[in-house]
Amino acid sequence: MPFASLGLSPALARAAAALGFASPTPVQAQAIPAILRGADVWASAQTGSGKTAAFVLPLLQQHQDIALARAPGTGARRVHTLVLVPTRELAAQVGEVLRSLAQPLPQPPKVVVAFGGVSINPQMMALRGGADVVVATPGRLLDLVEHKALKLSAVQSLVLDEADRLLDLGFSEELNRVLALLPPRRQNLFFSATFPPAVQALAHSLLHEPVRVEVAHEPEQALSIAQRAMAVDTGRRTQLLRHLITQEGWERVLVFVATKYTAEVVAEKLYKAGIHATPFHGDLSQGARTQVLQEFKDARWQVVVTTDLAARGIDIAQLPVVVNYDLPRSAVDYVHRIGRTGRAGASGLAVSFVTADAEAHFRLIEKRQHLSLPREQVAGFEPTEQAPASPAGSAEGTGGIKGKRPSKKDKLRAAAAAAAAESGN
C-alpha cells in the first residue's frame, strides 16, 4: 500500500520514500487517515512501530493546507502544532523526523525543539518571530511561556508522545498546566506504549471520540528480534562481552547496565582492550549526550554502554545488537531495551547475560513475555556460581559457591569456639 493512498500529498509521499519508507507501517496505515480527517487518536504503539512518522506526516500535511491558505507576509507565525515528549532525546529525535520529512515541502513549517538541562536563551532566540511547530518537554515549555517567548493560544493539534513515560517521569502537574493554556477546541493525538490506569484516565479526559489504533505487538517486529540468554558468572561479564564483540564480529552494540558507575567502568575496560566503547548516562552534560548519540549513529563508536536512559525513544537506525549486561528491572523495560534493535522490520539480536543470582528475576521476565530462552554457555565462560542458597540450606553444601566459603572471620570464630570447647573439657 503506497503512502499516497492514505490521503497524503504526493510531496509528502515522496518525502517518506526519500527516507526509505517503502510502505506505511501498521500504525501509520491506521493513524494517518484518521488524523487527516481531524479525528482525535488513541494509539497504543511502541517506539520502533513507526509512530513518529504516523503523526508527523499528517500534521505536516495540515501545515501545508494552513500555509497555502495563508496570504504571504501576513503576520508572525503562531504555534499550531504542539508535541509534548518526556525526554530531551525524544524531543531531539521527533524534531529531526519533522525536519527531514518537511524539507522537500514548498513551504516547510518552522520547527522549534525545546528541552531542559541546557540554556534557555538559544531556544528563546529560536522562537523569535514565532514558530509553526513546537516539540518540547513540559517543564521547559512552561518556562518559555513564562518568559513570554511563545503563546499556546493558537494550538490546533496537540500530540502527547510516550504519554506513559510523561506520567512515569512525574510530569502530570506540568502537563495539566500546559493543557490549561491550550484552546479547548483542538485535535488531540495520544501515543503510549502502555495504558496503566493513570494513562487511561488522562486519555479519557483529553480525547473526544478518539479513533483507536492498536498495534502494540506487531508480530513481524517481535519476530525480527532474535533473543538469546547466556549464563555467566557476575565477575566475567565484561570479558564475555569483549569475547562476543570480537568473535561474533558485532559492529555496533548498545550495552545496558544498571548504574552510571557500571557504564563508566565497563566502557573504560572495553576501551582499554582496544574496543571503541563509550558510556552514556544522565550525568553527562546534554551536549555530551547529544554528541555520543550522533557519533554512535555515525558509526564512530562501536559500543555504547548505557543505563536505561537510552531504553526508550532513542532511535538508532541499523543497530544490530543490544546486550543486557545487567538485566532490566521489569518486563516492560526489557521490551523497551530490546526494541532499540530490529527497528521497523530490520533484524536484530538481543542478548541477556543471566548470572546465577539474576536467574529467578529473568524467569519472571520470560514469564511475562511468554518466552522461554535456553541458557547458552560460551566455551571458556561456563558459569561456576549457583543461585544463593536459601537460609535453611546455607550451612551445607556451599563449599563450591563463590562468596559462601567460610571467611577468615568464620574460620577464626570456629577455631576460637573449638579452643573454648577443648579448654572446657
Residue 95 engages ligand AMP in binding (rule: CB under 6 A): no
Residues forming beta bridges with residue 226, ordered by sequence position: 349
Nearer to ligand AMP, 242 or 340 (CB): 340
H or E element that contains 111:
strand 111-114
Here the cell at position 418 is 573449638
Of residues 3-22, which lie at the interface with ligand AMP (CB under 6 A)? 21
Q: Which helix (H) or strand (E) holds 83?
A: strand 81-84
Rounded (5°) CA angle 115-59-311: 45
Residue number, 93 or 352, with CB nearest to ligand AMP: 93
Smallest separation, CB 31 to ligand AMP (Å): 11
Among the listed ranges 45-53, 114-122, 287-295, 357-365, the one in contact with ligand AMP (CB under 6 A) is 45-53
Q: How far apart are CA 115 and CA 363, in angstroms?
A: 38
CB nearer to ligand AMP: give 104 or 287.
Answer: 104
The residue from 30, 44, 49, 123 that contacts ligand AMP (CB under 6 A) is 49
Question: Judged by CB, which is closer to ligand AMP: 28, or 61?
Answer: 28
CA distance 419 to 413: 10
d(CA 278, CA 166): 28
Lay out the site mask for ligand AMP across 263-302 (x = CB under 6 A, - = otherwise): ----------------------------------------
- Report the residue number, 124 or 344, with the smaller CB distance to ligand AMP: 344
Q: Is 348 in the site for ligand AMP (CB under 6 A)?
A: no
Give min distance, CB of 48 to ligand AMP, in A: 5
Return the number of other C-beta atoms located less than 10 Å from residue 181's C-beta: 14
d(CA 4, CA 21): 12
Is residue 47 part of the contact set for ligand AMP (CB under 6 A)?
A: yes
- Cell 536563551, located at residue: 121
If you compute the radius of gyration of the chain from its CA atoms, what whole number of angstroms results? 26
Contact between 163 and ligand AMP by CB under 6 A: the answer reads: no
**Residue 24 and residue 4: Cα distance in Å, rounded?**
10
Burial of 395 (0-12, 13-18, 19+ CB in 10 A): exposed
Tell whether residue 51 is a contact of ligand AMP (CB under 6 A): yes
Is residue 91 a contact residue for ligand AMP (CB under 6 A)? Answer: no
For ligand AMP, the closer CB: 52 or 137:
52
CB of 47 to ligand AMP, least distance (A): 4
x/- track of binding to ligand AMP for residues 300-329 (CB under 6 A): ---------------x-x------------
Q: Which of 48, 58, 109, 348 binds ligand AMP (CB under 6 A)?
A: 48
For position 344 contacting ligand AMP by CB under 6 A, the verdict is yes
Segment holding 189, helix H or strand E: strand 187-192
Q: What is the dihedral of CA 184, 188, 192, 197, to 10 degrees?
A: 40
CA separation for the pair 98, 53 (Å, rounded):
8
**Residues near ligand AMP (CB under 6 A):** 21, 24-25, 28, 47-53, 315, 317, 343-344
